[in-house]
Amino acid sequence: MASLSVVVPVRNGAAYLPETLPAILRSLPQGGELIVSDDGSRDGSADLAANLGAQVVRHTDSSGPAGARNRGALRARGDTIVFLDADVRVHADTLARLLEPLQEPSVAAAFGSYDDRPPGRSWVSLYKNLAHHFVHQRSQRDAVTFWAGCGAIRRRALFAVGGFDEAYRRPSIEDVELGQRLRKAGYAIRLNPKAQATHLKIWTLPSWLVSDLRDRAMPWARLLRSGSSLPRDLNFRWADRAAAMLVAVALLAAGAAPMEPKLLVLAGACLVAVWSIDRAFLAFCARTVSPLFAAAAALLHTLHRAAALLGLFVGLLTPAARSRLGLLGRQLPAPPRRI
């Protein structure tokens, strides 16, 4: 049996594979395997992955990254499975760092972080990647969730809880939901902030906002409707929740300002309070990029919170939200018996 299996789901990711797959192959331990699970790509991703040296699981139709990861996991022979997104380039030590927490027998899964050197230098791409890096660097090591962009899990634990929920047909919070089931089943999850990788994706303002609304906030609302609660870690700490409420007050005050101009003062005060709460992140942005970028990041972070609030509101108060998301999927079947 392979010591380690790396599973990379891909959907039309041929632009990334020549950079990401060789980096994985260079850092695989002896006996490890690389499996690319193609999710109905139309750009030749499957053939390219095979030519680059990966095993390829082909699927003619797209079922989403959750289903692609499940199919890759069924093919995997390793006791430990590392999931990496197709647009994530590992460092030489990323895989080794991911496996460090699993040296403890009680730990079932571990995940890392994006690094602070994304190649996309637009302000939206910089903000999105640096915010992710900052949050993962500051968060608790005893994690309450899982991240499949750069995460490792024991094969037996993955199958024990049913794998990724294939109800999620788009890149969403399917890994978060898996992490919740792992924790409910009694498994421990660790965040190792030293396990870092480079995110190659280039974000635009529309793609980022659509992702935050449709693929993050509204699915989170679905989890809340099903009885789950928000974690008190990552970007859901009490300070973050307070900042989100202040953004909501600022928006309401600004909306009512045409009738009562004095409310603009309240809106401004709320935003100043929000940026005070975010001062550590904004200082990090200033050090990493520039003070000018930190000012832009303050506005983008406020916009992020506004989009998240809108998505949660729509998801919680609209009964049809779950059906529109197509959340009627299936889970991972039992693994085949091995001789």
Distance CA 180, CA 42 (A): 33
Could you tell me if residue 291 is inside a domain?
A: no
Distance CA 314, CA 38 (A): 33
pLDDT at 274: 96
Beta-carbon contacts of residue 62 (< 8 Å; ≥ 6 apart): 11, 39, 40, 169
* Nearest one of 79, 101, 103 to 189, comparing CA atoms: 101
Q: How confident is the model at residue 313 (pLDDT cuts 50, 70, 90)?
A: confident
pLDDT at 334 over 60: no
In the DSSP assignment, the letter for residue 34 is: E
Q: The domain containing residue 12 runs over which residues?
A: 4-202
Q: Which two tokens stand for residue 284?
A: 């990090």
Could you tell me if residue 290 is inside a domain?
A: no
pLDDT at 237: 87
Average model confidence (pLDDT) for the chain?
A: 91
pLDDT at 328: 38
Q: pTM for the complete prediction?
A: 0.90
Could you tell me if residue 338 is inside a domain?
A: no
pLDDT at 314 over 90: no
Q: How confident is the model at residue 15 (pLDDT cuts 50, 70, 90)?
A: very high
pLDDT at 166 over 60: yes
**Structure confidence by residue, pLDDT tens digits, 63-108:** 999 999 999 999 999 999 999 999 999 999 999 999 999 999 999 9
Could you tell me if 25 and 53 are in contact, meaning their C-beta atoms sit under 8 angstroms apart?
yes
Look at the chain and report how many structural domains it folds into. Answer: 1
Could you tell me if residue 12 is inside a domain?
A: yes
What are the residues facing 186 on neighbouring strands?
A: none
pLDDT at 319: 58
Q: Which two tokens stand for residue 87?
A: 């647009």
Q: How confident is the model at residue 2 (pLDDT cuts 50, 70, 90)?
A: low
pLDDT at 321: 44
Q: How confident is the model at residue 326 (pLDDT cuts 50, 70, 90)?
A: very low
Block residue for tokens 């080794």: 96
**Structure confidence by residue, pLDDT tens digits, 99-148:** 999 999 999 999 999 999 999 999 999 999 999 999 999 999 999 899 99
**Structure confidence by residue, pLDDT tens digits, 192-240:** 999 999 999 999 999 999 999 888 888 888 888 777 777 777 778 899 9
pLDDT at 338: 36
Could you tell me if residue 234 is inside a domain?
A: no
Residue 207 to residues 125, 204, 213: CA-CA distances in angstroms? 10, 5, 10
Q: Which amino acid is at 334?
A: A
Could you tell me if residue 232 is inside a domain?
A: no
Could you tell me if residue 165 is inside a domain?
A: yes
Could you tell me if 86 and 43 are in contact, meaning their C-beta atoms sit under 8 angstroms apart?
no
Could you tell me if residue 57 is inside a domain?
A: yes
Beta-carbon contacts of residue 178 (< 8 Å; ≥ 6 apart): 146, 148, 161, 163, 164, 165
CATH number of domain containing 115:
3.90.550.10
